[in-house]
Copies of this chain bind each other. A is one copy, B any other.
Amino acid sequence: MALEVFHKDETLQMRRKLIGQSCRLFFSHDPVKIMRARGQYLYDENGMQYLDCISNVQHVGHCHPSITQAAAAQMDLLYSNTRFLHDNIVLYANRLAATLPKKLCVFYFVNSGSEANDLALRLARQYTRHQDVIVLDYAYHGHLTSLIDISPYKFRKLEGQKEWVHVAPLPDTYHGIYREDHLDPGQAYADTVKSLIEEAHKKGRKISSFFAESLPSVGGQIIFPTGYCKRVAESVHEAGGVYVADEIQTGFGRVGSHFWAFQLQGEDFCPDIVTVGKPMGNGHPIACVATTEEIADAFTANGVEYFNTFGGNPVSCAIGLAVLDVIEKEDLRGNAVRVGGHLIQLLLQLQTKHPLVGDVRGVGLFIGMELVKDRVSRKPATEEAAHLVRRLKEERIVISTDGPWDSVIKFKPPMCFSIEDAERVSTLPDRYTQIQHPPCEAHKVEDAVPLDVAKEV
């Protein structure tokens, strides 16, 4: 059992004083202090266990001993930078290349998804010699200056939309302009991107890239309609731009059937740049950009070095390799298919019982359950979702919401999540009957914070 240094109240008090308050806590009205974690379970200062439904970063399970061992062994040998030749970086790049379409064969290692997306932006602009970027509505691509500019979820609350940013409708067939009854929503939503490009061209602007998460997360756990990405890529290529697939939340087998979420769109679709991050190091800061030889060559041709002090160091790569090993050895993709499939079935059963459950969608262990005031208007049940999150916390289940109205209960647990965990989180029907009543007003204001917070995990 890990020992507390400070009593929880004191930790909280010191945190409020020493750490910028823009860095928020889960459940800010009553945060949890977590001392240790293993697999899909978190333990607080009293040893109470919480089921973790949202830590997608701790991909193969919290504190997996294989990862710790790989890190410690390499830390004892060498933790230097990539200006010295080392086997780990090429071993790791080679392993990643084997998971990707052949044309994505050049890698840049960095320290965070944000660093990866910023570099993707630089690569796209250098290659195309264009500046403008198309993004999806409600998207979030990172905390850096350049990425807030391409994140409608952020820039709408801050300095607003730059003239070089173009926002396409989120291809959400539950809430969006084309819905599940449309004959070809993939084509229809792709056409909105095409129109946006035409409008931009009329203003004399030039498109460097289309940036999108392969499954929009902050947007509300959205699954793209069939054919969407391929058709978008065609329009973007025609405009001289590149397709950037942000796989920071969705990669490394989370969708189960495929290693990367963009592969759900079929073998005839391949992005030009893929950015990866969060789950890559199981908690360790590592991220990466994969791209084509042509794009990498254009970046090299400017004659300016790209040096990332920590990116691709032997320890980060040893950890990355160990994560890949565990995904394979423990068949975590198979587990995502089985457990994710079962969880979706359980949530669909809840939907048959509770009018509050408007939609259940997902693939593998990337699942959303959208709550609505009623199924005809599809008006988001934001307060009810907040109430559910709070009730589940009382049951020691850590979960959060997503989507433009914080009305989507999101599941993206460590990949070792079990059938029993799925049943635990979805078969306490009293929670779901209770949430049909309006939540206590006293909690509403406080909850607005942790819910907003939870969206970027």
Contact pick for A299, options B20, B146, B454, CB 8 Å: B20
Please give, as numbers and ranges, the residues of chain B lying within 8 Å of A143 by CB-CB distance: 119, 306-308
User: Assuming the A-B contacts A20-B106, A84-B34, A85-B31, are A307 and B78 also in contact, with contact meaning beta carbons closer than 8 angstroms in the complex?
Assistant: no
Please give, as numbers and ranges, the residues of chain B lying within 8 Å of A58 by CB-CB distance: 79-80
Contact pick for A18, options B15, B97, B452, CB 8 Å: B97
Task: Let me know if A91 and B20 touch, CB within 8 A.
Answer: no
C-alpha gap A299/B148 in the complex (Å): 15
Task: Let me know if A456 and B62 touch, CB within 8 A.
Answer: no
Task: Let me know if B24 and A307 touch, CB within 8 A.
Answer: yes
Task: Let me know if B282 and A8 touch, CB within 8 A.
Answer: no
Please give, as numbers and ranges, the residues of chain B lying within 8 Å of A154 by CB-CB distance: 304
Task: Let me know if B113 and A309 touch, CB within 8 A.
Answer: yes
Binds B, one of A66-74, A166-174, A262-270, A372-380: A66-74
Please give, as numbers and ranges, the residues of chain B lying within 8 Å of A302 by CB-CB distance: 22, 157-158
Contact pick for A300, options B6, B21, B114, CB 8 Å: B21
Task: Let me know if A83 and B24 touch, CB within 8 A.
Answer: yes
Copies in the complex: 2
Say how far A144's CB is from chain B's closest CB, in angstroms.
Answer: 5
Task: Let me know if B310 and A284 touch, CB within 8 A.
Answer: yes
C-alpha gap A34/B357 in the complex (Å): 57
Which residues of chain A (265-324) have a CB below 8 Å from chain B?
277-278, 282-286, 291, 296-297, 299-300, 302-310, 312-313, 315-316
Which residues of chain A (83-102) have a CB below 8 Å from chain B?
83-87, 89-91, 93-94, 97
Is A214 engaged at the interface, CB distance under 8 Å to the other chain?
Answer: no
**With contacts A143-B308, A146-B146 known, what are 5 further pairs, Cβ within 8 A?**
A19-B93, A33-B85, A112-B308, A145-B146, A157-B302
